[in-house]
A and B are shown apart, each in its own frame.
Chain A
Amino acid sequence: MAASARFSYPEEIKDKFIATPGLKFKSGNTVSSAEIWEFMTKEAPRRFPYAFDAGTNHIGRFSADVHFLSGIKRAYLDLTAKDRLLKEHAAGTPTVLVQGGQAMDAYYAAGAIPLRPGLIMRWAGNMDEGLSLRQSETRGLNILESGRRKISIDACNQIAAHAAIDNKVVPVDLIAPYLCLRCSDMAFLVETHRNKAHNIPSYLVDHPVDNENKPWAAEYIATELRELIAKIALLSGKTITDEVIFDEIKLENRGRRIALEIFEQWWAADIPPTNSTDLFGIAHLGQDFVGDSVASVDLLEQGKREILERIKNKVKGTGVPDHAKRLFICGSCVGPNAYHAQSAGAIFVGRDDNYSSLSVLIEETGDPYLNIAKSILAYPYEQRTEKRGKWTADLVKRSRADGVIFMYQWGCNYQSGVARMISDIVKQKTGVPTTFVEVGELGRSEATEQSTNRVEAFIEMV
């Protein structure tokens, strides 16, 4: 891989940026925009040079839209995750491995920091600083392969997160995801920890299938949520009342509402106000990708204001091609490279898995455990495939998508199992072309030609 150009934030936006609000955190700490600027222009390029690699193959590359200032703060939250998590953990806040695509309310309410596999993998990657993109990816691959060697070559890439825990690359205090229909590997990977040298406790919250009109399914989950929260409370030392849980639910509901509003406004806009990276980067904070629900909601509010302002002023996001073809992305844990798609004339307008968990608000009165349980069972993405397909078709229409790409990761038995059925239903209901693509390179920058070719060929066809 040839050395790529370096990305940097131009000095001319500095004054405008530092005039914007800073960020608030769950710990009660705040950071000013001047401090964020300092970090993103001096400290971060030194500590995390890989993140500033501007090569088009770098799927985690920062948004080129430097005038969308919330995007800079979003990148800041990513690159400071390591410091924040280590600091919080040292102060006694338990860290918990959880499933992606789920509401994190219960974990935060119980006083923990929930970490999806992707966040643990990034955290583990950042534990070694000063790495180029290639060095960083090699480090990630080494962790991943150490996991596959111990367990199986058939495992999907999330095994890297389990290996990072097992190898003590990052400190995790509890392994306790909700199960779901999105992921075939999580349950069995959690089970593998019983044969490891570490003594990290584990727990699974079940996900009963075919649960429609079965009140006993939600009751079953609610009982398990009580046990989960009690386990976390033992670690965090917090007293968990219904009120504490509702406070967190109200905060995260606020985030989910903002995220939904962003999508609605963005979809309705004549001109896409941001590129795909910024749309997903901000709106998906409603699902917390950064290990801090307060910071996520704070940035969602700021991001929404910026997006609405752009829509009002008919500003097009930097990087959005003229007459861009609008693509809706389906599948879990993986998606196409936004820069490649933009080069080929397309923009991504939504993702089914992320939108699913944003779309279900948790009731704010009554039994909070049962409310969370009902919300888990209500995710459209976790419904029977036919129902999920119809819901996806509706989203495709609402987002005015011109095409749909269903991507699934190597080793994902459940998403691969329904990729064709979802694609067929969406095509039948909307008339837009669909394709499905299996990828094995999840997040890497090398050997991406096969998936890139298929995505670009599809965009050309659209």
Chain B
Amino acid sequence: MGLKSLDKIADALQRRPAELEQLRKAGKKVVGWLAYNIPEEIIYALGLIPIRVGQGGDGRLVEVGARHISTKNCVFVRQALGQFAEKTDPYIKHLDLVAIDATCIQLYRLEELINFYFGYKTVVLGVPRNFATKEGHEYFRKEVEFFTKKLEEFAGVTLEQSKLEKAIWIYDGIRQAIKTLYRYQSLNNAPLSWREVSTVINAGYNLDRGQYLELLQELIIEAKDNLSERSGSENIEARIFLSGSLIPPGDTKLVDIIEHLGGRIIGDDLWSGLNFFLNLEIQEPTPYGVADAYLDRVPHGSLPYLDLASDGRLANLKEQLKAFNADGIIYHTLRYCDAFTFKAGETKDVLGSLPFLEIHTEYSGSDFEAIRTRVEAFIEMIKSKKEIAELV
């Protein structure tokens, strides 16, 4: 039996495009954003409506985007460009401004292209590659301050401390709620699946953040109440952890294959997944305080870091693998997503004996069978290993 709160979230999402239309008629402005380090709190506090943009899994839109960029750019960027080009997406068509942070430079290129070819009004937030240094922090503080001023001009209002505090409270609540849901979905008697939590995260791209927090809190209560209603699986499970390039809404190829073959996804460190909600604690309700918190969160793979031993991304990965009791890791990389692809071998080395499978793919279906075969063997291998361990 499905959780009713999930249906409520789905219903709210269905109503959202019409709501946005009404809100815009009433004078509200919609800010679409892409990447990892846009401080949504500031957008929200200024009375603007934040929408997180970017979907995957649609080969046709990839082709539309590729008319203006090249096949040497990752499919996520190409599809996003296709969406901006067509302007038929129910959210894209309502955007008054597009904000992109330069964590991934391919997304920065996307910003230039949608501005030049399709006339979108855009704003860029610079992100330091040397994010862990004092000078990197100084730079990012100034960037967030500048970004805030640009948004203030766009919104026609000044950022108020009380509104920023409220926004920080809401977003902190969302982050806590998602972490709780991740914990629930990973339990043996989980009342919901990783896929369902992922769908909930994706709904949060578009819903009003205050309403979203309320819905999440309802879901948590319901999920908690249902923890005992589903018994833990008696079969031997392959608990799969996903890592690597993002898996945005719409890109279900790998998830479908894993689940179809009996694997159970129990966690991830994707920037489209759990990582986005981790370790982000704003100590001071100011643009500088917001900047510091964003830079100190789990780093994005697009930001190079030269010391392996102290790499926060890898430390987080190890921590999550342990917390979610993963049996194996599927490291998913999109072609021409160098940030994650170049790290595949290293990640495998760092994780040592944990079963590791790299899947290098695009959104086309041409490699479906090849991936299926590899994932099937991987899941069988994990299950056999566990069966033998039980027998011994």
Interface residues of A (CB under 8 A from B): 150-152, 154-155, 179, 181, 184-185, 187-195, 202-204, 206-211, 214, 216-217, 219-220, 223-224, 384-386, 408, 410-414, 416-421, 438
Distance from A397 Cβ to chain B, minimum over Cβ atoms (Å): 21
Residues of B within 8 A of A418 (CB): 109, 112
Residues of B within 8 A of A209 (CB): 102, 105, 108, 124, 126
**Interface contact A217-B344, CB-CB below 8 Å:** no
Q: Verify if B70 is at the interface (C-beta below 8 Å from A).
A: yes
Q: Verify if B128 is at the interface (C-beta below 8 Å from A).
A: yes
Given A191-B305, A416-B69, A208 and B128 contact (CB-CB distance below 8 Å): yes
**Interface contact B304-A187, CB-CB below 8 Å:** yes
Chain B residues bordering chain A, tally (CB within 8 A): 48
**Interface contact A417-B139, CB-CB below 8 Å:** no
**Interface contact B339-A188, CB-CB below 8 Å:** yes
**Interface contact A414-B105, CB-CB below 8 Å:** yes
Q: Verify if B367 is at the interface (C-beta below 8 Å from A).
A: no
Binary contact readout B42-74 vs A (1 if CB under 8 angstroms, 0 otherwise): 000000000000000000000000001111111
Distance from A379 Cβ to chain B, minimum over Cβ atoms (Å): 16
Residues of B within 8 A of A181 (CB): 105
Residues of B within 8 A of A210 (CB): 102, 108, 124, 126
Find B346's partner among A185, A192, A204, A207 (CB 8 Å cutoff).
A192
Distance from B384 Cβ to chain A, minimum over Cβ atoms (Å): 29
Which residues of B (301-353) have their CB < 8 Å from a CB of A?
304-308, 335-336, 338-339, 341-346, 349-350
Find B142's partner among A151, A154, A195, A216 (CB 8 Å cutoff).
A216
Residues of A within 8 A of B126 (CB): 208-211, 214, 217
Q: Which of B5-13, B27-35, B130-138 contacts A (4 or more CB under 8 A)?
A: B130-138
Distance from B373 Cβ to chain A, minimum over Cβ atoms (Å): 20
**Interface contact A202-B70, CB-CB below 8 Å:** no
**Interface contact A155-B338, CB-CB below 8 Å:** yes
Given A191-B342, A206-B128, A224-B135, A421 and B304 contact (CB-CB distance below 8 Å): no
**What is the CA–CA distance of A330 and B112 in the complex, to the nearest angstrom?**
18
Interface centre among B112, B341, B349 (most CB of A within 10 A): B112
What residue in chain A is nearest B112 (Cβ atoms)? A385
Distance from B132 Cβ to chain A, minimum over Cβ atoms (Å): 11
4 cross-chain pairs, A with B, having the tightest CB-CB distances, nearest first: A416-B70, A416-B72, A417-B109, A216-B142
What residue in chain A is nearest B350 (Cβ atoms)? A195
Interface centre among A155, A184, A211 (most CB of B within 10 A): A184
**What is the CA–CA distance of A191 and B72 in the complex, to the nearest angstrom?**
21
**Interface contact A190-B72, CB-CB below 8 Å:** no
Residues of A within 8 A of B135 (CB): 220, 223-224
**Interface contact B342-A203, CB-CB below 8 Å:** no
Binary contact readout B115-157 vs A (1 if CB under 8 angstroms, 0 otherwise): 1110000001010111000011011001100100000000000
**Interface contact A214-B146, CB-CB below 8 Å:** yes
**Interface contact B72-A194, CB-CB below 8 Å:** no
**What is the CA–CA distance of A386 and B109 in the complex, to the nearest angstrom?**
11
Residues of B within 8 A of A420 (CB): 68-70
Find A203's partner among B115, B306, B335, B349 (CB 8 Å cutoff).
B306
**Interface contact A413-B338, CB-CB below 8 Å:** yes
Cβ contacts A to B, 17 pairs, < 8 Å: A184-B105, A190-B304, A190-B306, A204-B130, A210-B126, A216-B139, A217-B139, A220-B139, A385-B109, A386-B112, A386-B116, A408-B70, A411-B338, A413-B338, A416-B72, A420-B68, A421-B68
**Interface contact B308-A195, CB-CB below 8 Å:** yes
**What is the CA–CA distance of A206 and B128 in the complex, to the nearest angstrom?**
7
What residue in chain B is nearest A384 (Cβ atoms)? B112
**Interface contact B72-A408, CB-CB below 8 Å:** yes
Q: Verify if B106 is at the interface (C-beta below 8 Å from A).
A: yes
Which residues of B (250-291) have their CB < 8 Å from a CB of A?
none
Residues of B within 8 A of A214 (CB): 126, 142-143, 146
What residue in chain B is nearest A216 (Cβ atoms)? B142
**Interface contact B304-A188, CB-CB below 8 Å:** yes
Interface centre among A151, A207, A412 (most CB of B within 10 A): A151
Given A191-B304, A202-B306, A421-B117, A152 and B69 contact (CB-CB distance below 8 Å): no
Q: Verify if B293 is at the interface (C-beta below 8 Å from A).
A: no
Q: Verify if B113 is at the interface (C-beta below 8 Å from A).
A: yes
**What is the CA–CA distance of A411 and B73 in the complex, to the nearest angstrom?**
9
Which residues of B (214-246) have their CB < 8 Å from a CB of A?
none
Interface centre among B70, B72, B136, B336 (most CB of A within 10 A): B72
What residue in chain B is nearest A202 (Cβ atoms)? B306
**What is the CA–CA distance of A179 and B109 in the complex, to the nearest angstrom?**
16
What residue in chain A is nearest B115 (Cβ atoms)? A386
Distance from A155 Cβ to chain B, minimum over Cβ atoms (Å): 7
Distance from A165 Cβ to chain B, minimum over Cβ atoms (Å): 15
**What is the CA–CA distance of A189 and B338 in the complex, to the nearest angstrom?**
9
**Interface contact A192-B70, CB-CB below 8 Å:** no
**Interface contact A413-B306, CB-CB below 8 Å:** no
Distance from A380 Cβ to chain B, minimum over Cβ atoms (Å): 15
What residue in chain A is nearest B340 (Cβ atoms)? A188
**Interface contact B139-A385, CB-CB below 8 Å:** no
Binary contact readout B96-118 vs A (1 if CB under 8 angstroms, 0 otherwise): 00000010011011101101110
What residue in chain A is nearest B344 (Cβ atoms)? A152
Residues of B within 8 A of A187 (CB): 129, 304
**What is the CA–CA distance of A190 and B129 in the complex, to the nearest angstrom?**
12
Distance from A20 Cβ to chain B, minimum over Cβ atoms (Å): 45
What residue in chain B is nearest A215 (Cβ atoms)? B142
Residues of B within 8 A of A207 (CB): 129
**Interface contact A208-B139, CB-CB below 8 Å:** yes
